[in-house]
Amino acid sequence: MVIKLSAGAFAVSVCLSLAFFVGHGQPVLADGGGGKKHDVADTVKKEVAIAMKKNPRIGAALVRLLFHDCWVHGCDGSVLLDKTPDGGSTEKDAMNNIGLEGFDLIDRIKDKLGESVSCADIVVLAARDATSILSRGNIAYNVTTGRKDGVRSSAAAADAVLPPSTFNFTQLKANFAARNFTQTELVVLSGAHAVGVAHLSSFRDRLDNATATPISVRYQNALRDHVEDKTTAAVPDPTEMNNIRDMEFAFRNASGYNATGVDTSRAARGVLDNSYYHANLQNKVLFRSDWELRNDTTGAAGRDMREFRDDAAGWYVLFGKAMAKLSEIPAEGSRFEIRKNCRTTN
């Protein structure tokens, strides 16, 4: 079901119509009567909305946090740990986790919910709410609750399974296949790069012709100038917007960005929509991994991209399905608990 309503109507409609799954797949309709599941989901939704109003950046961070938690031994809250009983560096120290944010908000929500709700569930619920708000209600999906938190977390494990931005198409496909995600789901989920930011170190390869995979020359030049201006001794690794849509007019114009079919109004800045595909099909995206989706010689990934560019509603549905699937990757391991504090094991 795709909800397409104004923001106000959307908030009401979510409260009336959202369903929650409890236990193992039994859907239970929230009756609005103050049931526990409803309270938990409501609390998360409220806190995410407040945090995103204060700091719009946090929404993108929460969407990425879901991917980075669930990809590494399943949705188990392992990405949140600052330390584990065996010491050593945790997932937060992984190279591929550069720029990960949202931990303070997860802590704040945990404080409100207490010891009966796992940190893993909070990550899942918060990502869903962030997706809904970022997409202005266009992306809705159901998730289960009842996850437990894991007790393991290591930087090496995260770097071994999270895809770096320099992966080629074969590597990206294999990375997703290892998690039972299809090539189409890879293209669908990469659309999340319509929002958020990236550090220079994550796309530096694209600025130097000696290492760059093909990229729009006007975009490359604009990006090089822009990021050079921001690079200082104090800020050696500045960030840029993932989506050219979110750059100022002068930058878009200098890049020769064709905004046909993209909402570039002020209000649409930072919105999670299908504009990633408009940008990628013009070769104006930051990461090599994004570009690689164009370099599929079978043409299937390119076909998917054109389809999603031209059919926003279709992409919203598929993105919601893929996020739901991501949220249900089972935790791996043998020891679980519900953490008292999301940053440490009990």
- Name the residues annotated as catalytic: 68
| Residue whose CB is less far from ligand NAG, 231 or 258 | 258
56 binds ligand HEM (CB under 6 A): no
262 binds ligand HEM (CB under 6 A): no
Q: Are 58 and 105 in contact (CB under 8 A)?
A: yes
189 binds ligand HEM (CB under 6 A): yes
200 binds ligand NAG (CB under 6 A): no
| Residue whose CB is less far from ligand HEM, 13 or 213 | 213
DSSP state of 31: -
H helices present in 231-344, as ranges:
249-255, 275-281, 288-292, 300-310, 312-327
| Residue whose CB is less far from ligand NAG, 89 or 171 | 171
Q: Are 44 and 118 in contact (CB under 8 A)?
A: no
Binds ligand HEM (CB under 6 A): choice among 14, 30, 41, 63: 63
95 binds ligand HEM (CB under 6 A): no
| Residue numbers belonging to the annotated binding site | 69, 72, 74, 76, 78, 91, 163, 193, 273
The site for ligand NAG, by CB under 6 A, has a size of: 20
245 binds ligand HEM (CB under 6 A): no
Q: Are 320 and 136 in contact (CB under 8 A)?
A: no
Distance CA 244, CA 246 (A): 5
174 binds ligand NAG (CB under 6 A): no
Chain contacts with ligand NAG (rule: CB under 6 A): 1, 19, 27, 140-142, 168, 170-171, 180, 209, 213, 217, 253, 258, 260, 295, 297, 320, 325
